Structures are given as structure tokens and as C-alpha cells.
Amino acid sequence: MAATPTRARADYDYLVKLLLIGDSGVGKSCILLRFCEDSFTTSFITTIGIDLKIRTIELDGKRIKLQIWDTAGQERFRTITTAYYRGAMGILLVYDVTDESSFNNIRNWIRNIEQHASDSVDTILVGNKADMDESKRAVPTSRGQALANEYGVKFFETSAKTNHNVNEVFFSIARDIKKRLAESEIRAEPPTIKIKKPDPVKISTAEPQKSACCR
């Protein structure tokens, strides 16, 4: 029996690898937990190295399997996490709206992306903890949007606690990546070559012309 094609065996149409990066404590793990398990915890547990969660979503009639890597923000783990940039198709760059230093460090994280990630990687800037009281906010929405505009990336403010914009962030980047993958598939299709059939051989019915020397 012939083997079933890999595409037909798979329970998804596209496999999308995402990376969450940003300073320690900005809420990367909480965002991931909210998106994948729809839960939230106030307990702060530092990610050691790399964590992985998977969720499959329906998008424009396609099943997209999201493989989401949550990275540690501490400096001592960055040599570990840089290896994951190369395989990332999308990156969520997260800062804490109540922590200006995490926002200021975004430029450093972007330099890491430029140095280690693919040129075609999709990036979204995410300002987390948007549910916090305005008196605790250190980074206005306008500054986040201005930085996103500077680098030409999308911008969302989220709250893992209230689930504000969490799904929207992941669906947005997944849609952009799916579009890019679909376009690359079209470009990769071999061109159709049309072979022109030769015209039928025309057989002359005219009598052969006799040589002048033969009478």
C-alpha cells in the first residue's frame, strides 16, 4: 500500500514557530499561559532557559499549529535563547507598561532579532499589564505606538490578567505568517510548460513532376 502523503497525515495546514522575548518579569509566561490554557496566576516563577507550549487555531479556513517558545529574560540565559531566533517565524517582543526600563530595553532586543533571526521574521511589539491603574503606568500607549511605527511593526497592549488583546496578538501574527507562507508556496510552484503538438504531416496528392529527360 502506498504511503499517505505527509500533508494528508498532518492535523494542521501550517506549522508556525513563535518566540516570546523581553525582559524578565514583563509577563511573557503569563501571556502564553492565558493564550494556551486560558488561565492566569499571580505567582511569579522565572522561566529557566526555554519553555514550550502548543495550540492549534482555525484561521481563514486553515488549521494553524502554533509552536510557541517562551524564553528567559535574564542575561545569563541569552546565550541559550539566541539559538532559537534562527528557527522563529514570528517574534512577540514584550515589555511591561509599568516598567520603563523594560521598554527602553526593547531596542536591545530588536538588535538581537536583527543579529540572530531570519530577515523574513514577523515581529509584533506588545505592551503587557495594560490593566494596571494609570497611576502605575510608566509607558504611555503613544510611546509604544511610536516605537512600533519606527520599526515598522504592529503594536498591541495586552493584559494576561484580564485576557485583553491576548488572542488578538497571536491571531494577528499567525495571519501574517500564513499569508507569507502561502505566497512563498505559490512562488515555489514550477511553471507550467505547454508543449505544442506538431502539425500533422501533410501528404501531397499532386503527381510527382517528371524529369525533362524521361519521355
Per-domain residue ranges of the chain = 10-188
The dihedral over CA atoms of 77, 137, 34, 167, expressed in degrees to the nearest 10, equals: -110
Cell numbers at residue 15, please?
506549522
- Return d(Cα 89, Cα 4) in angstroms, integer: 27
pLDDT at 85: 87
Cell (9 digits) for 101: 526600563
- For strand 50-59 and strand 122-128, is the pairing parallel, antiparallel, or unpaired? unpaired
**pLDDT score of 201:** 57
Q: Is the dihedral angle over the CA atoms 72, 76, 78, 81 positive or is it negative?
A: negative
Residue 33 CA from chain centroid, whole number = 18
The whole-number mean pLDDT for each consecutive block of 10 residues of the chain, a chain of 215 residues, reads 46 93 91 90 57 92 93 58 83 97 95 91 97 95 98 97 97 95 77 59 52 51
Per-residue HEC secondary structure of 5-42 comes to CHHHHCCCCEEEEEEEECCCCCCHHHHHHHHHHCCCCC
Q: What is the pLDDT of residue 3?
A: 44
> Which CATH architecture fits 10-188?
3-Layer(aba) Sandwich (3.40)
Cα distance between residue 76 and residue 65, in whole Å: 30
Question: How many Cα atoms occupy the beta-carbon half-sphere of 156 within 13 Å?
Answer: 21
What would the DSSP string read from start to end of 34-69? HHHHS----------SEEEEEEEEEETTEEEEEEEE
